[in-house]
Structure 1
Amino acid sequence: MNSPEHIDPLKDVYHDSFVDNPAHREFMVEGHTALLCIDLQYLDAAPGHGVFKDAAESGVPAEAQAYYFDRLENMVLPNVRALQDSFRSHDMEVIHTRIQSLTQDGRDRGKGHRRLGLLAPPGSRDADFLEQVAPKRQRDEIIINKTASGVFSSTNIHYVLKNMGVESLFVVGVYTNECVETTVRDACDLGYLVTIVEDCCATVTPELHDASLATLRDRYARIMKLEEAQQVIRQLIPRRGNTTPASP
């Protein structure tokens, strides 16, 4: 006897609240949307550094490392840079998070990072952003340093975003199933409308990436690809120098 088809009784409610919510459009048109780039730094996104300084001791199998760095190099980093440039060209905020302690010995780190041995002291190469997607100093882009998976639980980012009137976030970065997912859940719980750009995120296996997206989709965030995200921006937001947004 076949088991009955699984029915999600809350699917429509969540979809209407977080995906088809017209406030996505309103927040973007009114300038209340920001791009949040998570942990694109040498510590966790560069071969031969940080977590992957000793590839054999990283705990990540060689094939998973190959997948991860190939996805970063050939998809995620170029796509994140393209999305950053789209936000910048439309005078929208681009905000960066990274893992960085307050102290050289990391005594201020969260207990989870201590247990994992994650340490990126100020001024270290591990704390540096990857050049391709680094903050633009001439634009005075905001950097939020953290020593935990979730940026909302471990920093003053909520206070900062509220000060700037940010109500919705486009989220990109690494790892999909760790810092990205934690941040998205927390942001949703705090009332932000969240969009994940899936081909701007990565983790060490496609299964982990897909599982996180399946959990977040239509529950905590809407999921887009880069092309769709850029189309939304072009349709709703004027470039610098224009006075009215294009029709959607």
Structure 2
Amino acid sequence: MTPTLPNQALPRRDEAFRAGETALLLVDMQRIWLEPGADPSHPERGPDHYFYRQTSSQTIPNQERLLAAARANGVEVLHTIIQSLTEDGRDRSLDHKLTPIHVPPSLPEGLPVASLAPVGDEIMLPKTSSGIFNSTNVDYLLKNLGIRYLVVVGVLTDQCVDMTVRDGADRGYLVTCVSDACATITQERHDVALKAFGGYCWVTGTDTVIDRFNALGKTA
């Protein structure tokens, strides 16, 4: 039988981030989902829909602040987007074919919104599943980068963000979900999702994470 580690040997989910071991991951912050009228699956959603109002007024601005703090303090920044490897989408998962979800690599709207786009040599990974750990080599990359603390933001809270948090926790990362830098189709769905997967991560707000990022810069 494997001996159980004493509680004092285990980390806390909200323990302080460490320089060189912390990454910010932006999930699916693409024009196709965030610009009214761009999503072909939901033409009925106009600019006044809750999701667009929430992402434009809170989610995107908070992510812009998080990005600035991460870049200023040596936090690794990664992006993931839903995007097929082929123009006809034949490489997609069965789930994405059935839904259907297909964002070809040539589609400009498939890229992140301008203010959240990768800069320099930040890594962007295309995926064809809800969970980035299922259809990319992100686990391999994070381990190569020496990442232990994974800060997750993005859309949708109850779909791709949820999967990222749970899968990251299962693979041994200390995951933080920034609640006011995520969004989904309704406030109720957002709140229920955070409550459901909150046991897998530390749920906190943008201001707190920015303070943590800034603290890393002071120790560098």
Q: TM-score, normalised by structure 1?
A: 0.80
Deviations 1:121-175 (A, max 9, x none): 1121232111111111xx2100011001000011111011111111111000000
Paired residue type of 2:121: D
Computing the radius of gyration from Cα coordinates, the structure with the larger value is 1
| Contact 1:50-1:126 at 8 Å conserved across structures | no
Paired residue type of 1:234: N
Alignment-derived partner of residue 3 in structure 2? none
Q: Is it true that 1:45 corresponds to 2:28 in the alignment?
A: no
Q: Is it true that 1:81 corresponds to 2:64 in the alignment?
A: yes
Unpaired runs of at least 5, structure 2:
1-6
Q: What is the aligned counterpart of 2:43 among 29, 41, 55?
A: 55
Alignment-derived partner of residue 151 in structure 1? 132
How far is 1:30 from its partner? 3.4
| Contact 2:55-2:183 at 8 Å conserved across structures | yes
Paired residue type of 1:226: T
Task: Spell out the pairing of 1:31-180 with structure 2 (5 A cutoff).
Answer: 31-51=20-40, 55-56=43-44, 66-136=49-119, 139-180=120-161
How far is 1:44 from its partner? 1.8
| Contact 1:197-1:224 at 8 Å conserved across structures | yes
Take 1:18 and 1:110, find their aligned partners in 2: how far apart are those partners? 35
Percentage of matched positions with identical amino acids: 38
SS at match of 1:119: coil
Deviations 1:27-86 (A, max 9, x none): x3331010000000022222111345x523xxx6x69x7110001101010110110010
Paired residue type of 1:230: I
Take 1:75 and 1:182, find their aligned partners in 2: how far apart are those partners? 22
Take 1:224 and 1:183, find their aligned partners in 2: how far apart are those partners? 16
Take 2:175 and 2:217, find their aligned partners in 1: how far apart are those partners? 21
Take 1:129 and 1:177, find their aligned partners in 2: how far apart are those partners? 20
The runs of at least 4 aligned residues of structure 1 exceeding 3 Å deviation read none
Paired residue type of 1:78: P
Take 1:51 and 1:184, find their aligned partners in 2: how far apart are those partners? 27
Unpaired runs of at least 5, structure 1:
1-12
Take 1:33 and 1:161, find their aligned partners in 2: how far apart are those partners? 10
Count of equivalent residues: 212
Q: What is the aligned counterpart of 1:204 among 175, 185, 189?
A: 185
Alignment-derived partner of residue 215 in structure 1? 196
Q: TM-score, normalised by structure 2?
A: 0.90
